[in-house]
Structure 1
Amino acid sequence: MVVQVVLVHGIRTSATMWRSQVAHLEGRGIPVHAIDLPGHGARMAETFTLEGAFATIDDAVTDAAARGPVLLAGHSMGGLLSVEYVGRENPPPVAGFIAASCTAIPRGLGLTTYRLLARGFDALPDRGMWLTNRVLDRTLPPETREDFGAGGYAFDTQDAALRSLSVLDLLAALRRIDVPLWFINGQYDQLRLNERLFVGVAQHAELIVVPRTSHLVSAMRPSVFNALLDVAIATIEQNARPERTPARSRPET
């Protein structure tokens, strides 16, 4: 059966952030579905809730699992939600998992500071988009520059989504994850704060740090991220192959 890929975006952005990955996978004939979480992208008018976010991920994974083994990949907030989802006590039908730019526990001073910064940007003229656009212009390559914001920015959802993340028990979830897991971080990503802890707690984790990238690792180095998707898919394909029973030797006559 063909590996099925489900992609979960980060906060403020939408499924469009994965355009490069979708094009790459479709070019390989790999079925892929990039979802919009509540309050984001095509669902901007909806209210974000953890229950709604988990239901969205589960619907996509369950649907994909009917056709083949599932590789789930999440970025930033989407990665944190996916850690909690894959690490449920009753494991969902996920055969492999990529957690990108999300090795930080969203609690305490770090989360409070992040929320304050987000509110500060939101209070600026044009909600800080002049600065956002300037940063993206300087850091993203032309082929992905428009993808990050093509589905719109979920300004009104951001604070509620950030606040909701504080209840996630990520370390307990990581301990329960029993499938191949890849942590992919940018070299200069601010969410590498608990990277060593995450890798140490997870059972089957590999850490990959992409040089010369920040938080938007999939958009800054799309060819590298796409190659890592290929590695994960190949691993799942290998694991899905039935083991051959060694042929019994014939008795000597």
Structure 2
Amino acid sequence: MAGREPGRTPIVLVHGIRVSGTMWQGVRAELGDRPVSAPDLPGHGSRRGERFTVAGAVAAITDAVDDLGGQAVLVGHSMGSYLALAAAAEHPERISELVLVGGTLKLTPGRVRPFRRIAGLLGSLPDGGLWFTRRMARLMFGRAQGEAFAAGGVAHEAVPDVLAGLLSRDPLADLRGYPGPVRLVNGRRDHFRAEEAEFLAACQRGRLALVPKAGHLLPLTHPRALAELLTPVASA
């Protein structure tokens, strides 16, 4: 990264479960002309039909980093935060900063069971739950952000494999093994904050930032606030 001008460190954005890289549209707009990639993970977006695996997701993430020059700030949301963490733990030399958004909850079979059931119900609808998801997203985030949320489709069929893959990882062990700087970013109203103190303690070089009045989906509800948090991280 020698010679790269301050504030221009590339950023790779890793999307949440069921959706795709399009969910980052608002954040990308706030980042201006920064070099940014938001790849679709296996089983999601442009890669629906592929079988999701953690190894495949890590490969997609590191490929995106390589496409931007071989090192980047890595930002994950929800499911994407756990997968970004896995990629950073396995390839720390590629990650200059790790930012986990809404990803400080220890996943257990009991905690993920409702997600599995809801995905099964919506996925059984004739359109795979797309109309319902789009409608709810527009109501929650507004028209533009709601459209971006579901623009790459909604992969309810990938949820069982995703949850099985996430349950196979130990995020606290991954954090302990990653030597670089980590920023934990949560909405103050996020239900995924449950173990944020434990996650912070597991970081070798960790910081915690809380976004007021935000919940779990803060990249969609507060894209400017998140982009502003990313700027000093990426410029460090």
TM-score (norm 2): 0.88
Task: Report Cα offsets for 1:189-236 as digits up to 9, x if no partner.
Answer: 22222212111111211112212222211110111111111121222x
Q: What does residue 84 of structure 1 align with? A: 86
> Match of 2:30, SS?
helix
Q: Please, which runs of 5 or more residues in structure 2 have no aligned partner? A: none
Query: Where does 1:120-139 land on structure 2 (aligned, <5 Å)?
Result: 120-123=121-124, 127-129=128-130, 131-139=132-140
Q: What does residue 45 of structure 1 align with? A: 49
| Runs of 4+, deviation exceeding 4 Å | 123-131
Query: Where does 1:167-246 land on structure 2 (aligned, <5 Å)?
Result: 167-235=168-236
Determine whether 1:114 maps to 2:118: no
Letter in 1 for 2:84: S
Aligned counterparts of 2:144 and 2:213: Cα–Cα separation in 1: 17
The verdict on how the C-alpha distance between 1:39 and 1:140 changes in structure 2, with shifts beyond 3 A counting, is same
% identical aligned pairs: 36
Letter in 1 for 2:35: P
Q: What does residue 36 of structure 2 align with? A: 32
Aligned counterparts of 2:211 and 2:44: Cα–Cα separation in 1: 27
Contact 1:85/1:92 (8 A) holds in 2: no
Contact 1:18/1:34 (8 A) holds in 2: yes
Aligned counterparts of 2:198 and 2:159: Cα–Cα separation in 1: 26
CA displacement at 1:118 relative to structure 2: 2.9
Deviates more, 1:54-63 or 1:144-153: 54-63
Deviates more, 1:204-213 or 1:147-156: 204-213
CA displacement at 1:128 relative to structure 2: 4.7
Q: What does residue 10 of structure 1 align with? A: 16
Contact 2:22/2:148 (8 A) holds in 1: yes
Determine whether 1:165 maps to 2:166: yes
Aligned counterparts of 2:226 and 2:34: Cα–Cα separation in 1: 15
Q: What does residue 244 of structure 1 align with? A: none
What is the Cα-based RMSD across aligned positions, in Å?
A: 2.0
Contact 1:65/1:93 (8 A) holds in 2: no
Contact 2:129/2:154 (8 A) holds in 1: no
Contact 2:92/2:180 (8 A) holds in 1: no
Aligned counterparts of 1:104 and 1:92: Cα–Cα separation in 2: 26
> Match of 2:74, SS?
strand
Deviates more, 1:172-181 or 1:30-39: 172-181
Considering only CA atoms, is the larger Rg found in Structure 1 or Structure 2? 1
- Give the count of matched residue pairs: 230
Q: What does residue 73 of structure 1 align with? A: 75
> Match of 2:95, SS?
coil
Letter in 2 for 1:12: R
Letter in 1 for 2:165: S
Aligned counterparts of 2:98 and 2:52: Cα–Cα separation in 1: 23
TM-score (norm 1): 0.83
The verdict on how the C-alpha distance between 1:43 and 1:197 changes in structure 2, with shifts beyond 3 A counting, is same
Q: What does residue 58 of structure 2 align with? A: 54
Deviates more, 1:3-12 or 1:182-191: 182-191
